[in-house]
Amino acid sequence: MKTNPRVRLFMPTVMWLTVLCMNSSAQAAMPYSTEQEAGFYISSESLSSLASGPGDQFSSNKKSLTLPVEKKDRRSESFRSQFHLDITEFDWRGSTAAEKEYIWLSMPIQYQQQRGNNNLFLLDFEPGLMTDGGNVGMDHIGLNGSVIGRRLLGNGGFWQVGLTVDRAFGDYDLRPVVSMGFQASKRTWVELGFPNINVKHHLSHALQSYFMIKPAGGVWKEEIKTDTTTKEVNLQYRSWQVGLGADFHWRGSVWLNAEIGQLRNRRVRAYDETAAVVKATPEQSRYWRIGASLKY
């Protein structure tokens, strides 16, 4: 099995930063919500023209399922694991690339440890399979991961630094995490930084709105068969999502979600039916998402 060199770089960096966080009162990490959540969501993009590349129009749609697996809390530590499934389809009109269903099947694992009163350490690890639903081998294994240190402030805010590898960028490059959070008002919470921006406002006990900016792409392994060869290749999609949404507490443990927004800075790199590389730059596009979840 070939290992992505950036993943090889990420693992020793994680170990180094982990040791640093465990022994320094200046590092910390974000606490997770104590709630368990099971959710199902459907999202779709509108067709957009292409600024460059083959074809006429481009869009995608996705179905997502998340189920809790295990949760443990012990003194200053917490552990959570989940089952996650994404099924993505592309509509690339005028091209024979990206014509299948693409699957990301993973198990997000989240570990948190409190160090003193103001310091937290957070480790995320998400192994998964990225496939077109055909043959599955060791080279279909992907890995998201992050290690973050967070310092809690006396006013309820925080600042944090860390490193992340996230396929939502459309690759497995190592990137920094730098952000801060604060209570802007009694009902409004703000997180600013890279790679995510998130502003939440509680309209009532049962309704909250939010604004967010985040990467929203992916990487998948795909098998291309021609008359002369069979080739395993990567399909890469890059996009930034700018969205407005609302979560509504319907009844009991059931929450409903609706979200609309734009997709910007989009890039797609794939292989067509002849196993030739094709690259395109779709114009910005609108999207919507709806879903429901159980929180308990």
Neighbour-count burial for 34-51, b at 16+ CB within 10 Å, e otherwise: eebbbbebebbbeebebe
Residue 69 — left, alpha, or beta (φ > 0 → left; ψ -120 to 50 → alpha)?
Answer: alpha
Residue 128: the pLDDT is: 97
Q: What is the pTM of this model?
A: 0.85
Q: Which amino acid is at 83?
A: F
230 φ, ψ to 5°? -125, 130
285 closest CA partner among 102, 89, 57: 57
pLDDT, one tens digit per residue, over 194-238 is 999 999 999 999 999 999 999 999 999 999 998 888 889 999 999
pLDDT at 173: 96
pLDDT band at 35 (very low <50, low <70, confident <90, very high): low
Q: Is the dihedral of CA 247, 251, 253, 254 positive or negative?
A: negative
- Choose which CATH entry (2.40.160.40, 3.40.190.10, 3.40.50.2020, 3.80.30.20) describes domain 5-295: 2.40.160.40
The residue type found at 7 is V
As a whole number of angstroms, the distance between CA 234 and CA 270 comes to: 7
Q: What is the pLDDT of residues 237-273, one digit of tens each?
A: 999 999 999 999 999 999 999 999 999 999 999 999 9
Q: How many CA atoms lie within 13 A of 43 on its CB side?
A: 27
Who's near 20: CB < 8 A, 6+ residues apart?
27, 149
pLDDT above 90: percentage of residues in the chain: 78
Alpha helix positions (H), the chain: 5-23
- How far is the C-alpha of 232 from the C-alpha of 222, rounded, in Å? 6
Nearest to 267 by CA among 234, 240, 243: 240
Across the chain, mean pLDDT equals 88
CA-based nearest residue to 233, from 203, 274, 263: 274
- Quickly state the pLDDT bin for 296 (edges 50, 70, 90): confident
The per-residue pLDDT for range 158-197, each reduced to its tens digit, is 999 999 999 999 999 999 999 999 999 999 999 999 999 9
- In terms of Cα–Cα distance, which of 209, 183, 212 is closest to 198? 212
